Amino acid sequence: MANNPLFPEDPDDTRAAIMEATFDALAEHGYSDLTINQVSQRFAKSEGLIFYHYDGKDEILLELLKYLLERVQKGRLPIADDVDPETRLRALLDNILPTGDEHQKRDYEKVLVELRTRAIHNEDYRECFNRSQMGFRESVREIIVAGIESGDFREVDPDSVADFILALVSGEIFDRITVDRHRTVRTELDDYIEDRLLAVEES
């Protein structure tokens, strides 16, 4: 519970408190073993209050998913649009693949993968992830299109590059929390930008 920046420290904010308890319980137990009781153990108020607000596990988790996607979106550093496309692309990747507090990041990624696996069989989760992934994809695509127009990038296919970067970010997170791999793709991703995207300077 200690100072997770995703959750404001306002004792009167019942929703945020339920969200934080749910987040912590999900990170610890995983979706299939999660019970409302585990959530309420992390929640200062009574279990009845949780049931009063939410009608079961998926309802509370969908709420958590929406809450997280909103917070993460808001928490991202704004990317100036008056800088060159290469700088914008690297700033976007800094936002999406942040370094920083390892423990909190790991919990966030665990929770994200647990919820996203739910999207295989549940349309409500799928819709949330469709929206968030398509938003990210569109941001990448726009930057690539701008870079081609300005002559900073080569004549690549913006859709293919956007899907490629999307898959790379998803895979980085999925690999990091499901197998013992401690390296990051970021260095090679920067080299990909350099060798594949940047226009070759004329000599």
Binding site for a copy of itself (CB under 8 A): 29-33, 110, 113-114, 116-121, 126, 129-130, 133-134, 156-157, 159-161, 163-164, 166-172, 174-175, 177-181, 183-185, 187-189, 191-192, 195-196
Q: Which two tokens stand for residue 183?
A: 């390296």
Q: How far apart are CA 63 and CA 125, in angstroms?
A: 10
As measured in angstroms, the least distance from the Cβ of 174 to a copy of itself is 5
24 vs 172 by CB, closer to a copy of itself: 172
Q: How far apart are CA 118 and CA 185, in angstroms?
A: 26
139 vs 192 by CB, closer to a copy of itself: 192
31 vs 76 by CB, closer to a copy of itself: 31
DSSP code of residue 155: S
Q: How far apart are CA 77 and CA 172, in angstroms?
A: 21
17 vs 111 by CB, closer to a copy of itself: 111
As measured in angstroms, the least distance from the Cβ of 15 to a copy of itself is 25
Q: How far apart are CA 93 and CA 117, in angstroms?
A: 23
As measured in angstroms, the least distance from the Cβ of 28 to a copy of itself is 8
88 vs 118 by CB, closer to a copy of itself: 118
As measured in angstroms, the least distance from the Cβ of 109 to a copy of itself is 9
Provide the phi-psi class of 30: left if phi over 0, else alpha when psi is between -120 and 50, else beta. Answer: left
The single residue listed with the structure tokens 């997280």 is 68
As measured in angstroms, the least distance from the Cβ of 169 to a copy of itself is 7
Q: Which two tokens stand for residue 71?
A: 């917070």
The single residue listed with the structure tokens 């009781």 is 37
**Helix 14-29 and helix 102-118: axis angle, to 10°?**
90
